[in-house]
Amino acid sequence: MDAGIESERRAAAPSHLPLTGVVVVDLSRYIAGPYCSMLMADAGATVIKVEPPRGEDTRSLEPYVADIDGSKVSAYFLRMNRNKRSVTLDLKSEPGQRALADLISRADVLLENYRPGVLARFGFDQERLSALNTGLVYCTISGFGHTKTPMRDRPAYNVVAEYEAGVYYQRDPNVAPAPIGPPVGDLFPALHALGGLLMALYRKAVTGQGGRVDIAMFDSMLSLNEIRSSYAKLYGRDWDPAAHPFYSPYGVFPVRDGHICIDVTTDPQWRGFCAAIGRPDLYALDGMATGPERVERFDSHIKGPLDAWLATQDRDLAVATLTEHHVPSAAIRHPGEALESDQSHARGMEVTVRSSGGAQVSTVGTPIKIDRWQDLPIHAAGADLGADTEAVLREVAGWDQAAIDHLLGRVLTATTPSEGAH
């Protein structure tokens, strides 16, 4: 990482960042693990990203942005690896394994998202990790968990976990199911991992003992899908996510310049809705007092007046009118428009991440706000490959220069084959 960027970032970091002093050894790749460790780095943790000598796979994934000298940098990698330190180790070599052991012995957290058994083949099974550091919080993120289950050893990316757990969009049974959009099969497990890590770190602070956090993407997707799974068990059929069996008006509706969402749940919201569309008389009609009654009578009593009102409305004006009457509603926005919105900027949610060579990408900041903690004004990307190896081995692992020179002389000529998906 460019020394100027790093020093500027550290100087700008408030001393009250909640995870200042926490050391994380991060062996993860792609999204689930890196997103979790990125949130920890945003919160002040020292995240040591350990990569093979040729770099993590996502360093070569499109789309690319250009450095000042025209060289390509992966926007994918920049987005997920800001504020981390890069160390390269060949984990198939004895010096590489020794370096990792020394880092783990001094770390608070070890995070990885290999398939079950991969880290053990490098010589780091649970027994050895516990021997190296009794206070270590060891977190794994895998497709189906590390306990012995029918699917444990299957490789998994986000869509595998999503479909296996019934997380998909299918309004028309005659059309094939489709992903719901964002890679929730990665992002939601990352948040569960973060929660589990913080729980385990709190227990460590109380007892001095570390622990194991075992996150399965499949489990997280079942948790995300709780309402549809529960309804399916309760009623013997799926719940249409574009409608609602108990609330009305509910859903997405067209206006003159786009679409809006309306979600009327309570009686005061129903009264406000009727006033907002200029039909207070609807509120007085018999058989419309509850959500299920309005669901049953939507087509016959509500749809006509609502459509007539929507036909005269622009998107933002309609939402403003509904909001004035305390009706939950939203403009349906393009993701780029949402990121650039006044609300996003007011919350500090659009940030720019840049590489040491000047490549930059606009992305989403941390959604976790605690007291006075603000997003760091400098969002440095993951360091140039291996740029922090020497400093980290000296500062964290406690190695002397002779040991560092020996390691670097061997590691920089080594290669590490990919271990595949999670």
- Catalytic pick among 26, 90, 186, 388: 186
Query: Residue type for 225, please?
Result: N
> Tokens standing for 199?
């729980």
Q: Is the peptide bond before 173 cis (omega within 30 degrees of 0)?
A: no
Active site residue 286: no
Q: Which residues contact 304 (CB under 8 A, 6 or more apart)?
A: none
Q: How far apart are CA 325 and CA 159, in angstroms?
A: 40
Residue identified by tokens 């957290």 is: 109
Q: How far apart are CA 335 and CA 326, in angstroms?
A: 25
> Is 260 strand, coil or helix?
strand
To which H or E segment does residue 250 belong? strand 250-255
Q: How far apart are CA 110 and CA 9, in angstroms?
A: 24
> Tokens standing for 284?
């007085």
Measured CA distances, 39 to 19, 82, 242, 317, 344 (Å): 10, 9, 31, 36, 18
Query: Residue type for 252, please?
Result: V
Q: Closest by alpha carbon to 248, among 230, 228, 267? A: 267
- Cβ count within 10 A of residue 235: 10
Q: Confirm if 330 and 356 have CB atoms less than 8 A apart.
A: no
Instruction: Write the DSSP string, 284-305.
Output: GSTT-SSHHHHHHHIIIIIHHH
> Tokens standing for 114?
């290999």
Q: Closest by alpha carbon to 285, among 297, 269, 268, 303? A: 297
Instruction: Write the DSSP string, 108-121.
Output: SEEEE-PPTTHHHH
Active site residues: 186
